[in-house]
């Protein structure tokens, strides 16, 4: 039986993410999107669940204060989702896929083993993630969330120095302001190394073949080698603001839009 796919979304959903969710349904997975509000335009067959039951909205204020109107600031959504996916792992909710992961084939996992892939030569991606609920990585995040300050003990020397210098200069005392992905891929990589889990990582091509080169997805190209390659399970798209633009004929995006209409 294929694992359930779970993810978190905050705000309006663009056409790219809708296409990706359809691809996950088409691959045979049950897909649930957690959110604090109803998501207009959610594709048929995709379930919508209450995010508050997993991680309270108030946790976002530990990352940074909201805007005067109550909306989230800049990096809050991305960093909140880094913690949210770990809470889902602790609850055995299923396989996390970012909403912009286009699946080309079903994902099969061993529920007793971690599942992730290299995003770049020395860094894991967390856009595709499964961890057993009692894994050390999950426990480390739970311990972090129990702190008054969200300052992990796995920070690299570079990030420790950056954080210390910022505080000396009178800057922000919140680690969350240092770097958008401070609780994301860098944290997953450091903890996977600590708990001897790097050996479970799939090759970069399995999910990140176009991640660093969005033009391969959005611009006209010869994409047949990508959609037919046996080692490519899915494609994590980095839209860079192009998720709401109409697909360009001859692009991989145009193919995906038609394929998963």
The predicted pLDDT at position 180 comes to: 82
Does residue 189 register a pLDDT over 90? yes
**Listed residue (87, 22, 4, 79) closest to 258, CA to CA:** 22
* pLDDT category of residue 181 using cuts at 50, 70 and 90: confident
User: Looking at 2-11, 125-134, 143-152, which range is the least confident one?
Assistant: 143-152
Task: Tell me 168's DSSP state.
Answer: H
Residues 18-46 have a mean pLDDT of 97
**Listed residue (255, 147, 249) closest to 237, CA to CA:** 255
Tokens of 132: 């057993």
Q: Where are the domains of the chain?
A: 5-204
The predicted pLDDT at position 159 comes to: 79
Tokens of 198: 């790097």
* pLDDT category of residue 17 using cuts at 50, 70 and 90: very high
pLDDT, tens only, 99-128: 999 999 999 999 999 999 999 999 999 999
**Distance between first and last Cα of the chain:** 25
Tokens of 116: 């992730």
Helix (H) or strand (E) holding 140: helix 136-145
Question: Which 3 state secondary structure label does DSSP give 46?
Answer: strand
Residues of the chain with pLDDT > 70: what percent? 100
């Amino acid at each position: 039986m294929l694992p359930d796919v779970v993810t978190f979304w905050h705000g309006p959903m663009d056409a790219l993410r809708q296409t990706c969710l359809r691809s996950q349904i088409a691959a045979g997975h049950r897909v649930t999107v957690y959110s604090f509000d109803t998501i207009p335009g959610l594709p048929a067959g995709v379930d919508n669940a209450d995010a508050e039951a997993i991680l309270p909205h108030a946790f976002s204020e530990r990352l940074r204060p909201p805007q005067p109107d109550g909306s989230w600031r800049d990096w809050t959504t991305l960093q909140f989702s880094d913690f949210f996916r770990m809470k889902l792992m602790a609850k055995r909710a299923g396989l996390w896929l970012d909403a912009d992961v286009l699946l080309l084939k079903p994902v099969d996992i061993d529920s007793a083993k971690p599942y992730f892939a290299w995003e770049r030569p020395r860094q894991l991606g967390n856009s595709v993630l499964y961890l057993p609920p009692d894994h050390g990585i999950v426990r480390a995040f739970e311990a972090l969330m129990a702190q008054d300050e969200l300052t992990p003990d796995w920070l690299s020397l570079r990030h420790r120095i950056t954080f210390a210098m910022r505080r000396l200069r009178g800057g922000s005392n919140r680690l969350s302001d240092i770097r958008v992905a401070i609780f994301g891929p860098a944290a997953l990589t450091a903890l996977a190394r600590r708990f001897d889990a790097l050996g479970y990582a799939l090759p970069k091509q399995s999910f990140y073949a176009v991640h660093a080169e969005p033009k391969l997805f959005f611009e006209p190209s010869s994409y047949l080698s990508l959609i037919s390659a046996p080692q490519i399970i899915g494609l994590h798209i980095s839209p860079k603001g192009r998720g709401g633009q109409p697909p360009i004929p001859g692009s991989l995006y145009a193919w995906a839009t038609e394929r998963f209409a």
